[in-house]
Amino acid sequence: MYVGTLSFDLLLGDVRSLKEKRSVVRPIVAELQRKFAVSAAEVGDQDVYRRVKIGVAVASGETGHLTDVLDRCERMVAARPEVELLSVRRRLHTDED
C-alpha cells in the first residue's frame, strides 16, 4: 500500500475577511474530494485571511496511480484563477515506513 500527500500553500486574491476566504477555499476542497476521491482539508493558516494551506491525501496499491492522482490534483489547484500557488510539498509513503 502507498499513501501520497500534497500540502498546498496558497495566496488568495481579493479577500478581505475570513468569511470571503471560506467562500474561496470550500469549493476548492470540495472539488478535490469530488473529482479525485481524495481526502482534502484546510490544514493551516485558518486565522489569516489571505493565506491558506490545503492538505490532500490518497491511498493506492500502485505508485503509478498514486502519482497520476496527485499530479491531477496539483494541476487543478494551480489552474484556479482566484489563488496563487506559492508552494507544493509532495510526499510518498509505503506501509513499511
Domain boundaries, the chain: 2-90
Pair 14, 96: CB distance under 8 Å: no
Does 97 have pLDDT greater than 80? no
pLDDT number for residue 55: 97
User: Residue holding cell 491525501?
Assistant: 57
Please check the confidence at residue 13 and state whether its pLDDT lies above 90: no
Average pLDDT value over all residues in the chain? 93
Cell, residue 81? 484563477
Per-residue pLDDT at 85: 95
Q: How far is CA 82 from CA 19, 74, 89, in A?
A: 15, 15, 20
Residue 39 identity (one-letter amino acid): S
Predicted model pTM: 0.89
Name the CATH topology of 2-90: Alpha-Beta Plaits (3.30.70)
Q: What is the pLDDT of residues 69-81, one digit of tens each?
A: 999 999 999 999 9
